């Protein structure tokens, strides 16, 4: 019997290895062993608040990725999965499809404290067709005129593969945008999220992975399986009109917030490595420059977007949970070519989604909950505004703006 089991296992291995066809040439990373969920997160796990306390407004609003608020004018802007940036007017309780970039909007931020324009990362969404095949990148939208202006559509070619590196300021690859011609540049693969310096001069932009025809949503699933470390964090310097590479060789660089800064520049950023189930802090200047620290690993789910509340706490969208199957796949990459050959509709898709809250340093877990997906799916980020937490749902079947009062969350405080 043992011989037969061994033989069958060997035959299965050869079948999956040689008959699986990775038609899109997705890069496959090395074996990666995921461990148990950190005790610190288990200790702050709370009952699901969504069943009883979830509110829905603006039913016209489709599924969306991000949300920003203009408190003065009592409006919000949401990056819709239908390709539009939606404007939500809280005075009139009305919603409108407001501006449509060349490709789907994703991360949103105001350009500066004046809030006269909006920055958006825009990328292709899996399953959608676009007239403009080269429209991926960073855009600025004038709120008054609704003019859409491209800021970054091409990035420098980085010929040398380097893994898990945070560049010291003096060693960063830096390029003048005026000199970025076709021979030394490539198209932006996927512009995902962004963070803006206090003075508005520096914009940090996440590029989860680099490959032609990259896409969000279903288009990112192959990268989640491959787990290859080719994610990057870029910084666009508006004052000097340069683009520089801040981080290179990380896995699916996604959400980003600025962690600390001096009087003149940012010293560290916190990012999610979504498909690696990690949150890390990168020290980009100051005494620890050129280093990074893992704040959390072996997360219970896919950490997506990051936002801070008025107390500085960091709210993390957990778009999907981690499963035992994922643990097995990443520890056994020989099966990945076979999985990449399957239609995505055959792959198991979890319905659960949740929220993780961290203290201002990002080092301590204050709260975690997981919802069964019956009321809301695919929480991409949790956006605090006043005394409410708003919950963008990156789900095509979603309709409306979801929210919960912050007092419904049993938030512990770090010691």
Q: What is the pLDDT of residues 158-205, one digit of tens each?
A: 988 899 999 999 999 999 999 999 999 999 999 999 999 999 999 999
| Helix (H/G/I), strand (E/B), else coil: 316 | strand
Q: What is the pLDDT of residue 348?
A: 85
pLDDT of residue 132: 62
Long-range contacts of range 37-40, CB-CB < 8 Å, 24 or more positions apart? Answer: 37/298, 37/299, 37/300, 37/322, 38/296, 38/297, 38/298, 38/299, 38/365, 40/364, 40/365
CA 233 to each of CA 8, 210, 247, 266: distance values in angstroms, whole numbers, following the listed order: 44, 11, 5, 14
Short-list 117, 118, 164, 155, CA closest to 136: 155
Rounded to a whole number, what is the distance in angstroms from the first to the last CA of the chain? 55
Q: 101: pLDDT confidence band, cut at 50, 70 and 90?
A: very high
Residues 6+ apart with CB under 8 A from 170: none
CATH of segment(s) 39-408 = 2.120.10.30
Q: What is the mean pLDDT of residues 372-376?
A: 97
- Count Cβ atoms below 10 Å from residue 274 Cβ, excluding itself: 30
Task: Show Cβ contacts of residue 320 under 8 Å, excluding neighbours closer than 6 positions.
Answer: 301, 302, 350, 352, 353, 378
Mean pLDDT of 237-244: 97
* pLDDT higher than threshold 50 for residue 10: no
DSSP letters for 215-227: -BGGGGHHHHHH-
Instruction: Inform me whether the pLDDT recorded for 353 exceeds 50.
Output: yes
pLDDT band (50, 70, 90) for residue 22: low
Question: What residues form DSSP beta bridges with 358?
Answer: 314, 365
**Residue 5: pLDDT over 70:** no
Q: What is the pLDDT of residue 6?
A: 35
Which residues, in sequence order, are CB contacts of 300 under 8 Å at separation 6+?
37, 41, 318, 321, 322, 354, 356, 368, 370
Residue 8 has pLDDT above 90, yes or no: no
Dist CA 53 CA 354 (whole Å): 14
Helix (H, G, I), strand (E, B) or coil at 209: coil
- pLDDT, tens only, 47-84: 999 999 999 999 999 999 999 999 999 999 999 999 99
SS3 call for 346: helix
Sign of the alpha-carbon torsion through 70, 75, 76, 77: negative
User: pLDDT value at position 19?
Assistant: 46
- Tens of pLDDT, residues 298-336: 999 999 999 999 999 999 999 999 999 999 999 999 999
Cβ distance 233 to 256 under 8 Å? yes
Question: What six digits make up the tokens of 84?
Answer: 């539009």
Mean pLDDT over 3-11 rounds to 34
Indicate the length of the chain as a whole number.
Answer: 415
The sign of the CA dihedral 217, 322, 392, 50 is positive
pLDDT tens-digit readout, 194-235: 999 999 999 999 999 999 889 999 889 999 999 999 999 999
The angle at the Cα of 130, spanning 346 to 336, to the nearest 5 degrees, equals: 30
């Amino acid at each position: 019997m043992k011989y037969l089991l061994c033989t069958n296992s060997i035959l299965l291995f050869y079948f999956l290895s040689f008959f699986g066809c990775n038609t899109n040439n997705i890069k496959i990373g090395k074996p990666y062993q995921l461990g148990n969920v950190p005790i610190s997160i288990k200790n702050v796990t709370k009952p699901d608040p969504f069943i009883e306390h979830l509110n829905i407004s603006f039913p016209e609003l489709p599924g969306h990725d991000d949300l920003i608020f203009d408190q003065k004018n009592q409006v919000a802007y949401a990056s819709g999965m239908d390709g539009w940036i939606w404007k939500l007017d809280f005075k009139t309780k009305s919603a409108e499809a407001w501006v449509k970039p060349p490709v789907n909007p994703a991360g949103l931020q105001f350009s500066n404290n004046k809030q006269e324009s909006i920055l958006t990362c825009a990328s292709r969404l899996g399953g959608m067709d676009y007239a403009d095949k080269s429209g991926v990148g960073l855009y600025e939208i004038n709120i008054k005129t609704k003019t859409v202006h491209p800021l970054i559509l091409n990035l420098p070619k980085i010929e040398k593969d380097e893994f898990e590196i945070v560049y010291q300021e003096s060693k960063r690859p830096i390029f003048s945008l005026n000199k970025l011609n076709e021979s030394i540049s490539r198209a932006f693969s996927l512009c995902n999220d962004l963070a803006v310096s206090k003075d508005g001069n520096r914009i940090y932009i996440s590029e989860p992975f680099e490959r032609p025809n990259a896409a969000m949503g279903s288009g990112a699933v192959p990268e989640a399986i491959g787990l290859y470390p080719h994610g990057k964090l870029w910084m666009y310097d508006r004052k000097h009109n340069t683009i520089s590479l801040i981080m290179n060789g990380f896995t699916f660089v996604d959400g980003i917030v600025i962690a600390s800064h001096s009087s003149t520049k940012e010293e560290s950023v916190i990012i999610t490595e979504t498909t690696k189930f990690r949150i890390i802090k990168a020290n980009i200047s100051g005494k620890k420059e050129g280093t990074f620290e893992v704040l959390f690993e072996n997360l219970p789910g896919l950490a997506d977007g990051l936002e801070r509340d008025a107390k500085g706490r960091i709210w993390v969208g957990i778009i999907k949970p981690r499963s035992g199957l994922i643990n097995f796949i990443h520890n056994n990459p020989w099966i990945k070519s076979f999985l990449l050959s399957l239609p995505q509709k055959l792959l198991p898709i979890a319905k659960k989604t949740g929220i993780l809250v961290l203290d201002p340093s990002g080092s301590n877990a204050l709260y975690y909950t997981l919802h069964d997906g019956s009321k809301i799916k695919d929480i991409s980020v949790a956006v605090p505004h006043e005394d409410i937490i708003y919950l963008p749902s990156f789900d095509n079947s979603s309709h409306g703006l979801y929210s919960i009062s912050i007092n419904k969350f049993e938030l512990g405080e770090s010691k």
